[in-house]
Every structure is written in C-alpha cells, then in structure tokens.
C-alpha cells in the first residue's frame, strides 16, 4: 500500500515568504540518501583509439552510459556494453596494489557529482537513474517539515567496488558531505563551539547498505590515512561527532545468490525477460561487461553454508555429445574457480574478485562495533533462486534447481540478517523502529512478505521511519532548549 503520511496535530510549517531557509534554526537532523546497484547515472567523454565496431563512436562528450533503453537498440547494444566494460591491467595482478583499471579512453563521471554541489537542494532524480527516495522525501516534508536543504544524495559509481572507492575520493567525498550538512545545520556560539549538535542521518538501500558499511570500515582502516595530517584514521570520534544513526533498507550485507548468473551467464529473468524480446543482443558481451565490475563481483554470495552447492555445470565428452553427463559442483568458495573456467571470461576477473577479500562481508562483519546507531529494516519469506544449474555449459542460460524461501525476492535471508552482527559489543534490543525507546545501538525490523526495496513505499515501514525521524527531532529540540537555558549566549531554535 502506497501512502502519504501526515501528522494532523503537527502540520508542516510554512516557510516565511522571501526568507532563505536557515537549517541551523531547525530541530531536524539532516539526511543523506545513498542508492543501490545501478542507481547512479553515469556519463562519459570518449577519446578512444579503437571501438568495438566500425559504427561505434570513438569521440564523444557527455555521452550517457547508464542508463537508457536506447542502449539496447540494434547497432547500439554492442557499443554500449563495450564502453561500460572495465579493462584490467594483467601486469598489475601480482603487485601490492592489486589489479588496476586500464585507461581505454572512456572517461566516465557522475552527473550528480559534476553538476550539483555537495549540499544540492534538488531531488534524487538529478543524479540517479530514478528518484528512488521520492516517497520518503515527500512524507518527511509533509509530516515533519523537512526542507530540500536538509536532505541530500551521495552518488557513487556502483561498478568500481570498495577498494577503489577508498582510494579515488568517493568515500572522502561522502565524509566531506556529512561534515558540510552537519556544519550548515548547527548554530555556532560566540565561543566558536557548536551548540547542541544535530548529527547527520545516513539512509541506504540495497547495495547502499554494504557501501555504507565499507565507508564506516574505511574511517577506521589505517591503510588509507598514512598521509592524513595526523597519520591516523578519524575513527569512532568522527562518527560520534557527525553521525546520528544509519538506517539500512534491504541491505545486501552478505551478497546474494542471484548475482551468480549476472557474472557467469544471465538467465532470462536476470535480464528482465529481455533475452526473448531482444534476441539480437549478445548476452555474453553483457556478461563480460557486468563481470568486469568489482562492485558486481563484491555482491556474490558470501554467507551461505560452506558446503552448499551454489552452481552445478554439466560436462559432456565432445567426442560423444550424446554420452553420459558428468557434473561439476561449485560452492561460494569456488567462485574464483568458476570465473576462471567460464569460457570467454577475461583472465583478470578472478584476480579482481580475489582483490576484494579485505572487504569481504565476513571480514567487515567481524568488525563488530561500527560506532554508529543502526536501524536494519528488511523483508522476509519471499522466495528467490539459491542454486543454478548450467545444463548446457556456461555459455547458455541456467535453470534454477533450488529456491530460498527466506529472502526478499532478491537477497537471501542470511545476507539480510547479517546486520545483527554489526554491533555485538553492545546489547541489542528487539524494540521496533519509532517505538519511542532510546539508548540502544541496534534495531532490526522485519516485514514478512515484503519484497526487496519496498520499505520506501510500504505504509507500515514508512510510518515507522517517519516516527524515528520525529523522535530524533524531538530529542534535538530538547537538547537545544537545555543549552539555551544554561547559556544565554546560545542560539535558540525558531
């Protein structure tokens, strides 16, 4: 059920005409929204020496790469998939830095970063493929009076993966954006001290969940802070100052079995039923594109049973095509071997997958206390494929031989529930979102039969989210009032 939720007792305040909005006078905590896989719009300038076909462009400016349906038209699909595909330098595979992206003249960028400031007041559609959080933003505005200046979006290239985000400035940009929203939302006393700080709320969905988890991990990883002024990571002190809480919706915290066909050979359902509609598209080229993305490889399943068969592949003797069939079975730990044995797969891809080990979900989950309060919201009891059978080899679409009954149609239950391990150093609670309780670090809210990502549209979860943000604003106002009473020089909220 889709719904707009309004609190009749507290209608949204009207902004004074002609006056610019001053976020420092609002009791509301600023919010930064983070999208999931395939959410960000990607453009590029082309300066290529070679192209996939003679009819493909070599030179272009502000060419859209992700995403338009016209990319799948005849004589365009092959050009598009080749421009979106990352190339990896095989000579770097054994270096300490790991595989490196090779420059082929496709200079991609994010329009959301290029065209809008960090504290942009536009909506999510300005740099995302869809206005993903439009329902939530509308409800926050109508129910609590949130203004555009109090809500922003962080964009990232979902193809690149955490190792690159940690080094190319993506995580640093999120850190800067959090600080900017914090600073513009808090009044400053005459002494220069912040008065009753309103900290930032991070809201993520789907792949955005592990991305934020990796960001929090990065903030404490000394590998990336040797050149900082202090030589030390910001750590929990930074989190405690700037972050109020993290709200995760449908977080893919342990990968998903549905990612397997995307990087081996897609089935019709994985390709949005387009294989039958667009038979001219070379789906192996689409596979090569997807498999070249560390972000996609990172989402392969990592928390299933260690001896569980994830993929089985039929093998026949080429001399006796009608002879007996032998089967090769692969578990989640065999994924590098599966990638290496997939016909046509670039040999560097297995090394790219291996380079993601420091960012494995198991490794990050053992990093128990993330240093920020968390609400983990997801669905359950919706089936999804859990085991794939390539009956005709790895160059044909698979069939499903096992289903998972405890997922959200896209992500396995074990993956959704991995958030329970994030704050094991403190006592968790079974209290629901927005129940008015305070003082605990972790809350999990499960909606049976709710599909992946529908928390931002479902009436029940929307009401709980609004109540959570209302409780935070109430606490902020109470803190500001206490400071005002204690210090006559403090700035009061209006």
What pLDDT is stored for residue 226 in this prediction? 81
What pLDDT is stored for residue 437 in this prediction? 43
Our count of domains for the chain comes to 2
Q: Which residue has the higher pLDDT, 188 or 21?
A: 21
Determine which of 88-102, 322-336, 371-385 has the lowest per-residue pLDDT on average. Answer: 88-102
On whether both 145 and 91 belong to a single domain, the answer is: no
CA distances from 485 to 28, 195, 480 (A): 20, 12, 9
Domain final position from 70, 88, 109: 109
Region 116-135 average pLDDT: 72
On whether both 100 and 141 belong to a single domain, the answer is: no
Question: Over 80: is that where the pLDDT of 378 sits?
Answer: yes
**Which residues lie closer than 8 Å to 54 by C-beta, 6 or more apart?**
none
> How many residues would you count in the chain?
494
**What is residue 66's DSSP assignment?**
E
What pLDDT is stored for residue 432 in this prediction? 41
On whether both 87 and 178 belong to a single domain, the answer is: no
pLDDT digits (tens, 9 = 90+) for 197-227: 799 999 999 999 999 999 999 998 888 888 8
On whether both 69 and 133 belong to a single domain, the answer is: no
On whether both 175 and 212 belong to a single domain, the answer is: yes
On whether both 134 and 103 belong to a single domain, the answer is: no
Q: Which residue has the higher pLDDT, 320 or 401?
A: 401
For residue 360, is it left (φ>0), alpha (ψ between -120 and 50) or beta? beta
Flag whether 493 is in a domain. no
Determine which of 158-167, 374-383, 389-398, 429-438 has the lowest per-residue pLDDT on average. Answer: 429-438
On whether both 102 and 218 belong to a single domain, the answer is: no
Flag whether 10 is in a domain. no
Region 51-77 average pLDDT: 93
Q: How many angstroms separate the CA atoms of 141 and 145, rounded?
A: 4
b/e code 268-296 from CB counts within 10 Å (16+ = b): eebbeebbeeeeebebbbbbbbbbbbbbb
On whether both 49 and 140 belong to a single domain, the answer is: no
Q: Is 63 helix (H, G, I), strand (E, B) or coil?
A: strand
How many percent of the chain have pLDDT more than 70? 82
Q: Which residue has the higher pLDDT, 140 or 325?
A: 140
On whether both 99 and 229 belong to a single domain, the answer is: no
Residue span of the structural domain in which 86 resides: 42-109
Burial class (CB in 10 A: 0-12, 13-18, 19+), 427: exposed
Flag whether 355 is in a domain. yes
Flag whether 7 is in a domain. no
How many percent of the chain have pLDDT more than 90? 56
What pLDDT is stored for residue 3 in this prediction? 34
On whether both 235 and 91 belong to a single domain, the answer is: no
On whether both 362 and 418 belong to a single domain, the answer is: yes
Confidence band, pLDDT 50/70/90 cuts, at residue 230: confident
On whether both 57 and 30 belong to a single domain, the answer is: no
Q: How many angstroms separate the CA atoms of 474 and 10, rounded?
A: 12
Flag whether 132 is in a domain. yes
CATH number at residue 432: 3.40.50.1820
């Amino acid at each position: 059920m889709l719904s707009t939720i309004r609190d009749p007792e507290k209608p949204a305040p009207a902004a004074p005409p002609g006056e610019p909005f001053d976020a420092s006078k609002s009791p509301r905590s600023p919010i930064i929204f983070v999208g999931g896989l395939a959410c960000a719009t990607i453009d590029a300038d082309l300066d290529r020496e070679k192209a996939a076909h003679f009819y493909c462009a070599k030179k272009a400016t502000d060419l859209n790469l992700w995403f338009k349906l016209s990319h799948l038209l005849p004589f365009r699909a092959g050009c598009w998939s080749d421009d979106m595909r990352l190339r990896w330098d095989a000579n770097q595979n054994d270096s300490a830095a790991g595989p490196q992206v090779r420059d082929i003249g496709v200079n991609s960028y994010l329009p959301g970063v290029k065209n809008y400031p960090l504290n942009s007041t536009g909506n999510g559609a300005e740099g995302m493929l869809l206005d993903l959080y439009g329902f939530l933003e509308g409800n926050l505005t109508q129910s609590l009076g949130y203004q555009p200046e109090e809500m922003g979006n962080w964009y990232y290239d979902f193809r690149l993966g955490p190792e690159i985000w940690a080094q190319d400035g993506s995580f640093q940009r999120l850190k800067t954006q959090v600080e900017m929203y914090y600073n513009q939302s808090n009044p400053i006393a005459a002494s220069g001290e912040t008065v009753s700080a309103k900290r930032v709320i991070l809201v993520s969905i789907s792949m955005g969940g592990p991305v934020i988890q990796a960001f929090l991990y990065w903030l404490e990883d000394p590998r990336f802070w040797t050149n900082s002024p202090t030589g030390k990571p910001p750590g929990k002190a930074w989190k405690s100052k700037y972050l109020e809480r993290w709200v995760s919706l449908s977080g893919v915290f342990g990968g998903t079995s549905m990612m397997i066909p995307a990087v081996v050979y897609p089935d019709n359902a994985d390709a949005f039923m387009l294989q039958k509609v667009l038979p001219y598209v070379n789906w192996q080229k689409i596979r090569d594109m997807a498999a070249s993305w560390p972000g996609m490889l990172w989402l392969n399943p990592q928390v299933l049973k260690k001896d569980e068969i994830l993929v089985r592949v039929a093998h026949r003797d080429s001399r006796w095509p009608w002879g007996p069939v032998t089967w090769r079975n692969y578990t989640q730990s065999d994924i590098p071997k599966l990638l290496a044995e997939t016909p046509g797969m670039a040999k560097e891809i297995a090394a790219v997958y291996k380079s993601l080990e420091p960012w494995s979900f198991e490794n990050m989950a053992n990093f128990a206390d993330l240093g920020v309060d968390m609400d983990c919201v997801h669905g359950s009891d919706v089936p999804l494929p859990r085991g794939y059978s390539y009956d005709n080899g790895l160059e044909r679409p698979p069939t499903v031989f096992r289903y998972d009954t405890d997922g959200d149609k896209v992500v396995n239950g074990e993956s959704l529930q991995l958030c329970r391990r994030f704050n094991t150093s403190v006592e968790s609670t079974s209290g629901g979102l927005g129940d008015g309780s305070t003082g605990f670090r972790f809350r999990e809210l499960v909606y049976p039969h709710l599909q992946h990502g529908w928390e931002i549209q479902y009436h029940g979860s929307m009401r709980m989210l609004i109540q959570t943000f209302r409780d935070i604003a109430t606490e902020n106002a109470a803190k500001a009032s206490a400071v005002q009473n204690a210090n006559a020089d403090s700035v009061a909220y209006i």
